[in-house]
Amino acid sequence: MVILISGTTHTGKTALSQRLMEKYKIPYFSIDHLKMGLIRSGKTSLTVNDDKALTPYLWSILKEMIKTVIENKQNIIIEGCYIPFDWQKDFEEKYLSEIKFYCLIMTADYIENKFCDILKFENTIENRIASDINKAELISDNMQNLKMCKKYGLEYVLIDKNYAVNIEL
């Protein structure tokens, strides 16, 4: 089984993946690690600021990794914001039946009421460079993700009053 966990920045994708790894003993793979490895090794001219171009570039690798995991009857959690919303088009049914997708989405009210907490917990799992995250952009990005999940009929987890994301496999 492959579990894909997506969402915009600061939604807790990595923290959730870590909890799922510990609970189910399924390894997780951070797309950010792949991105930084390719950038630092000089295998791409893309930079950390090239989000729009990074998604198709990284996805071209990830989708083949996913197929390999399924063909080998293995399990993995893959987390990151570089999973396109139309990801299903890249898989035949035999693969799709082995993939679960979840997008973490914070509501505008949650962001408005918990913005200080969101910033406070940004280094829970990984050490980030000081954040210049903008509340309005964070709200806009989350609402865009919600719109895209609905458009493509994808499963999403709405973070509304408290941060209590529980996914049962």
For position 165, what pLDDT does the model report? Answer: 66
The proportion of the chain whose per-residue pLDDT surpasses 70, expressed as a percent, equals 91
Q: Is residue 135 part of a domain?
A: yes
Looking up residue 6, the CATH number of its domain turns out to be 3.40.50.300
Q: Is residue 138 part of a domain?
A: yes
For position 133, what pLDDT does the model report? Answer: 81
For the cut 70, the answer to whether the pLDDT of residue 146 exceeds it is yes
Q: Is residue 130 part of a domain?
A: yes
Q: Is residue 78 part of a domain?
A: yes
Q: Is residue 139 part of a domain?
A: yes
Alpha-carbon gap, residue 1 to 109, rounded angstroms? 34
Q: Which two tokens stand for residue 97?
A: 């039946």
54-58, 96-100, 117-121, 143-147: the lowest-pLDDT one: 117-121
Model confidence band, residue 164 (pLDDT cutoffs 50, 70, 90): low
Phi-psi region of 140 (alpha: psi -120 to 50; beta: other; left: phi over 0): alpha
Strands (E), 13-109: 28-30, 76-79, 99-106
Total domains, the chain: 1
For the cut 90, the answer to whether the pLDDT of residue 168 exceeds it is no
For the cut 80, the answer to whether the pLDDT of residue 167 exceeds it is no
Question: What is the average pLDDT score of the chain?
Answer: 91
Helix (H, G, I), strand (E, B) or coil at 90: helix
The 10s digit of each residue's pLDDT in 18-49 is 999 999 999 999 999 999 999 999 999 999 98
Q: Is residue 167 part of a domain?
A: no
Parent domain of 29: 2-159
Q: Is residue 62 part of a domain?
A: yes
For position 162, what pLDDT does the model report? Answer: 76
With beta carbons less than 8 A apart as the criterion, state whether 81 and 7 touch: yes
The 10s digit of each residue's pLDDT in 99-137 is 999 999 999 999 999 888 888 776 655 555 555 788 999
Average pLDDT over residues 41-61: 94
Q: Is residue 56 part of a domain?
A: yes
